[in-house]
Amino acid sequence: MRVLIINASPFQRRSNTSLLLNAFISGLNECGSKVELFNLVNLTIHPCRGDLNCWFRARGKCIQRDDMDKLYEPFTNADAVIFSTPVYCDGVPGQLKVMMDRLVAGGDPHLEIRDDHSRHPVTLRQQSQKFALIASCGLWELGNFDPMIMHLKAFCNNIGFTFCGSLLRPHAFAMKNRPINDILKAAKCAGKSFGETGDIPEAYSVVVKRDIVSREEYINEVNNKVTSLIH
Ligand SMILES: Cc1cc2nc3c(=O)[nH]c(=O)nc-3n(C[C@H](O)[C@H](O)[C@H](O)COP(=O)(O)O)c2cc1C
């Protein structure tokens, strides 16, 4: 399986999200998937200009020449797309949203009704493409992912991708100084399973998002750390 991974964490290898992503990738590698990883922090992608030149003048091609040119081909031909991202302000980081906007260039301007919803047509190829999410956030509750998940599921519906599962890590800072071998093992198994079947079994997602500490303990720990850093 050809898997395109977009990593939106600016920290890359040192990041909370990458702890999960690296384990997931080692699972993908184990089953022979072809992995292409792009770190958005290393790419220059300008915001969409909104003139829809890509739809009405140069069909399917954005007027801007920047690093987005490296992504159109993998987005078209990958069997699966993974977004690996922190939650920023209850959604995806700005760099990732800018990249998502620029994918509109490859869309079809016509409208049709799909799933009782007015949408742009998608190709059979897009309908066969799988999508999965790996995400971490700093606040304690799992519900902090809800707005992002709702957004990304809507994005998948519009672009034609099938949302196949997620690995979510709330109160992610608690991972730094506690045993999380079961979480990393589940993330690796999820990668292997995704590479083999195109799905993330719920059993692995449940382990990855498990409570690491109580909310009270986490708040105390974060506050102590913050106080020591500020004073
Ligand atoms: C600008 C910014 C906004 C953030 N907004 C949220 C938020 O809305 N909710 C939340 O739970 N965490 C928020 N966080 C915390 C990150 O989601 C969290 O630290 C995450 O694990 C970082 O992942 P990374 O280390 O892979 O970059 C925010 C962090 C930053 C820098």
Structure confidence at residue 177 (pLDDT):
86
Task: Give the position, in ligand 1's atom list, of the atom nearest the Cα of 89.
Answer: 8
Does residue 136's CB lie within 6 angstroms of at least one atom of ligand 1? yes
**Could you give the CA distance from residue 157 to residue 51 in angstroms, rounded to a whole number?**
23
Angle ∠(77,82,88) on CA atoms, nearest 5: 135
Q: Count Cβ atoms below 10 Å from residue 202 Cβ, excluding itself.
A: 8
**Could you give the CA distance from residue 39 to residue 67 in angstroms, rounded to a whole number?**
11
Task: Give the position, in ligand 1's atom list, of the atom nearest the Cα of 91.
Answer: 8
How many angstroms does the Cα of residue 172 sit away from the middle of ligand 1? 9
Q: To test ligand 1's pocket by mutation, which of 87, 176, 215 has the most ligand atoms within 8 angstroms of CB?
A: 87
Average pLDDT, consecutive stretches of 10 residues, N- to C-terminus, the chain (231 residues): 97 89 98 97 98 90 96 97 98 98 95 95 93 98 98 96 98 95 98 97 98 98 95 77
DSSP H or E segment with residue 228? helix 215-230
pTM: 0.97
Does residue 88's CB lie within 6 angstroms of at least one atom of ligand 1? yes
**3-state class of 169 per DSSP?**
strand
Q: Give yes or no for a contact between 217 and 178, defined as CB atoms under 8 angstroms apart.
A: no
Structure confidence at residue 231 (pLDDT):
77
How many angstroms does the Cα of residue 136 sit away from the middle of ligand 1? 7
Structure confidence at residue 60 (pLDDT):
86
Nearest CA to 85 among 161, 172, 157, 158?
172
Does residue 85's CB lie within 6 angstroms of at least one atom of ligand 1? no
Structure confidence at residue 12 (pLDDT):
73
**Could you give the CA distance from residue 231 to residue 216 in angstroms, rounded to a whole number?**
22
Domains of the chain: 2-230 (3.40.50.360)
Task: Give the position, in ligand 1's atom list, of the atom nearest the Cα of 144.
Answer: 11
Which residues, at least 6 apart from 25, have a Cβ–Cβ distance to it below 8 Å?
5, 35, 37, 191
**Could you give the CA distance from residue 54 to residue 62 in angstroms, rounded to a whole number?**
5
Does residue 86's CB lie within 6 angstroms of at least one atom of ligand 1? yes
Beta-strand runs (E) in 1-115: 2-7, 34-39, 80-86, 112-114
The residue nearest atom 17 of ligand 1, judged by CA position, is 137
